[in-house]
């Protein structure tokens, strides 16, 4: 075999929805195709890795690189590549600075969150999100960290609605109070769990009735340590503790 016979596998992951993956072939959406062609200089014969956001992972040989389309033949398929064992939902109070919420979203995808819920709390200083912008951040993060699932982004909702509608084998509210136990201890005591729901307050924290409502609805109050963390840092620290307690190796 000469050096020119070695197949070039592109290191960047690409995203294509399940509808673009059929009969052993994958067709990249226009923006992904353009990126492959103009930025990464992908060529016919190279191999690319494509994820569908639903757990599908594909290695495909590139058959055609057109101006607006890239088509490949699937040579290997796997499922749930890069996904943590636990289905973790983090509900974070809406933050005054949109960029801080975006940073949280990007890093939470990297750490393995399965669902993000922007929380309308009594002390939150905002009521809305830029959904499309956040979704783009999530897709980019999913590709970058080599996950195969695109986490869900819920519509902003109140703490009361979240508590009534969400499940979670383990339910936690991050709160720096006397009754709180370290989050690692709470996860250890909970034992094996398929899913977790974690609530984190906005800059101004939760109002006492919101903490009470969370406790009344099965959320254990947990501490993230002796320092008061910014809300987005708290969300990421809590997520890491939950995912870390249920690593899938």
Q: Which is nearer to ligand SAM, 8 or 230 (CB)?
A: 230
Q: Which is nearer to ligand SAM, 91 or 150 (CB)?
A: 91
What's the closest the beta carbon of residue 12 comes to ligand SAM, in angstroms?
34
What's the closest the beta carbon of residue 49 comes to ligand SAM, in angstroms?
36
Q: Which is nearer to ligand SAM, 24 or 177 (CB)?
A: 177
DSSP classification of residue 35 = I
Strands 195-200 and 170-174: parallel
DSSP classification of residue 219 = P
Q: Which is nearer to ligand SAM, 231 or 242 (CB)?
A: 231
Q: How many CB atoms lie within 10 A of CB 18?
A: 11
Q: Which is nearer to ligand SAM, 60 or 174 (CB)?
A: 174
Structure tokens at 110: 């990297």
What's the closest the beta carbon of residue 216 comes to ligand SAM, in angstroms?
17
Residues that bind ligand SAM (CB under 6 A): 174-176, 200-201, 203-206, 223-225, 227-231, 234
Q: Which is nearer to ligand SAM, 70 or 186 (CB)?
A: 186
What's the closest the beta carbon of residue 211 comes to ligand SAM, in angstroms?
9
Nearest one of 81, 80, 106 to 92, comparing CA atoms: 106
CA 16 – CA 21 distance, rounded (Å): 7
What's the closest the beta carbon of residue 173 comes to ligand SAM, in angstroms?
7
What's the closest the beta carbon of residue 224 comes to ligand SAM, in angstroms?
4
CA 26 – CA 153 distance, rounded (Å): 26
Strands (E), the chain: 9-15, 21-22, 25-28, 47-51, 56-65, 70-79, 87-93, 115-120, 152-153, 157-158, 170-174, 181-182, 195-200, 220-223
CA 12 – CA 47 distance, rounded (Å): 11
């Amino acid at each position: 075999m000469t050096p020119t016979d070695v197949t070039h596998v592109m290191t960047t992951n690409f995203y294509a929805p399940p509808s673009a993956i059929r009969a052993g072939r994958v067709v990249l959406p226009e923006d992904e195709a353009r990126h492959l062609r103009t930025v990464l200089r992908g060529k016919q014969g190279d191999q690319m890795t494509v994820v569908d956001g639903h757990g599908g992972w594909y290695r495909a040989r590139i058959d055609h690189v057109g101006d607006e389309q890239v088509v490949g033949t699937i040579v290997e398929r796997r499922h749930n590549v890069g996904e943590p064992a636990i289905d973790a939902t983090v509900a974070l109070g809406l933050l005054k600075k949109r960029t801080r919420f975006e940073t949280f979203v990007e890093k939470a995808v990297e750490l393995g969150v399965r669902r993000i819920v922007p929380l309308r709390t009594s002390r939150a200083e905002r009521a809305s999100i830029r959904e499309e912008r956040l979704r783009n951040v999530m897709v980019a993060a999913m590709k970058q960290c080599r996950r195969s699932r695109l986490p869900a982004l819920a519509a902003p909702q109140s703490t009361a609605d979240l508590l009534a509608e969400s499940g979670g084998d383990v339910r936690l509210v991050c709160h720096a109070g006397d009754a709180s136990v370290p989050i690692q201890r709470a996860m250890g005591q909970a034992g094996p769990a398929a899913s977790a729901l974690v609530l984190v307050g906005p800059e101004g924290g939760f109002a006492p009735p919101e903490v009470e409502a969370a406790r009344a609805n099965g959320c254990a109050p947990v501490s993230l340590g002796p320092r008061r963390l910014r809300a987005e840092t708290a969300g990421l620290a809590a997520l890491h503790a939950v995912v870390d307690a249920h690593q899938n190796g």
